[in-house]
Amino acid sequence: MLNIAILAGGPSAERGISLKSAETIAKHLPSDKYNSVIIDVMPGAWKAVKTGQSFSVNQFSLVDDSGKPTERFDFAFIIIHGTPAEDGLLQGFLQMMGIPHSACGVGQRADIQQTDVQNIFAHL
């Protein structure tokens, strides 16, 4: 069984939509193949949505009060709107940690971001 961290929330104005999307994903992942936990990604503190358990970004796992890992994750399903996902920060971090994830890589994200900026200026 694969442990999947569904990374959601974030500090953007679309936080609520991201969390709702994460609930939908968790509900539809086959529970006989995947153990999924929705992680609320906020600056300074990542936590499991249902339990409030702390998440260690350095260990990519849920941790107990002493910081000891209790559940490690094999894969990150990114469902964050805005930063740190749409600007590639989260993907860069995950790639450096060797964590497989559901989004495009940093290079592709940078290309998309550059194209978005060029399109904005082209229409001014």
pLDDT at 75: 96
Whole-number Å distance between alpha carbons of 79 and 32: 22
Number of domains in the chain: 1
What CATH code is carried by the domain that includes residue 73? 3.40.50.20
pLDDT at 111: 47
Residue pLDDT, tens place only, 81-123? 888 887 788 888 899 999 999 976 554 444 444 444 445 555 5
Q: What is the pTM of this model?
A: 0.83
DSSP state letter for 2:
E
Question: Is the per-residue pLDDT at 7 higher than 80?
Answer: yes
DSSP state letter for 49:
T
Domain that holds residue 62: 2-122
pLDDT at 123: 54
The pair phi, psi for residue 114, each rounded to 5°, is -60, -40
Residue pLDDT, tens place only, 46-76? 999 999 999 999 999 999 999 999 999 999 9
72-to-1, 32, 65 alpha-carbon distances in Å: 12, 18, 15
Whole-number Å distance between alpha carbons of 74 and 1: 10
